[in-house]
C-alpha cells in the first residue's frame, strides 16, 4: 500500500447520520479511488485492538466505546501520496480548527465525534489496511 494507498474509516457518528455517501463523493471528487470497503460493527475487543497504540492515554476508553457504538465503514483509498493527501482532505481532528471544505469541517460534530479516521503514515496505512482487509488491501 505504501505511497499510493491509505486506510480511511467513516466513523459511527457520520455513518449513523447518513453521511457516508457524501463523504465518499467528496473524496472521489478530490481524486481518491475506493479500492475496497465494507460496513462493519466493531466489537469492543476489535476496536481496542485497532486503537491499541493509544492504550494508556486518557481518551482510549472513550474512543473504544465510540468506535464500537455502531456501524462504521473502513475503506482503502488510492491516490498519489495517499496518506498526506487524505489527511489534507479530512482536516484537523477538531472540526472547529479544520480548514473550510475539509471532511471534518463539513461533516464532523466535535473533536471526539470527528466523522473519519485516517492513517498517519505509509507504514500504519499498510498495517491498518491489513487489519480490516487482509491481502485485499495490497492488491
pLDDT digits (tens, 9 = 90+) for 71-95: 999 999 999 999 999 999 999 999 9
Nearest CA to 53 among 138, 139, 117? 117
Q: Does 26 qualify as catalytic in the annotation? A: no
Q: Which residue has the cell 457524501?
A: 22
> Residue 74: exposed, middle, or buried by beta-carbon count in 10 A (0-12, 13-18, 19+)?
buried
- Domains of the chain listed by start with CATH number: 5-40+72-137 (3.30.70.141)
Q: Would you say 111 and 93 are in contact if contact means Cβ atoms under 8 Å apart?
A: yes
- Give the integer Cα–Cα distance in Å for 46 and 62: 14
Asked if pLDDT for residue 49 goes beyond 90, the answer is yes
pTM of the model: 0.94
Which of 26, 41, 54, 117 does the annotation list as catalytic? 117
Amino acid at each position: 500500500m505504501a505511497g499510493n494507498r491509505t486506510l480511511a474509516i467513516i466513523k459511527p457518528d457520520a455513518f449513523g447520520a447518513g453521511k457516508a455517501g457524501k463523504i465518499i463523493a467528496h473524496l472521489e471528487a478530490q481524486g481518491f479511488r475506493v479500492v475496497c470497503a465494507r460496513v462493519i460493527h466493531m466489537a469492543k475487543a476489535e476496536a481496542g485492538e485497532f486503537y491499541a497504540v493509544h492504550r494508556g492515554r486518557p481518551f482510549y476508553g472513550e474512543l473504544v466505546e465510540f468506535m464500537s457504538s455502531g456501524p462504521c465503514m473502513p475503506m482503502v483509498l488510492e491516490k498519489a501520496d495517499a496518506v498526506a493527501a487524505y489527511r489534507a482532505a479530512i482536516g484537523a481532528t477538531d472540526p472547529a480548527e479544520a480548514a473550510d471544505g475539509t471532511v471534518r469541517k463539513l461533516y464532523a460534530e466535535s473533536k471526539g465525534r470527528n466523522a473519519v479516521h485516517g492513517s498517519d503514515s505509509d507504514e500504519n496505512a499498510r498495517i491498518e489496511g491489513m487489519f480490516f482487509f487482509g491481502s485485499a488491501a495490497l492488491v
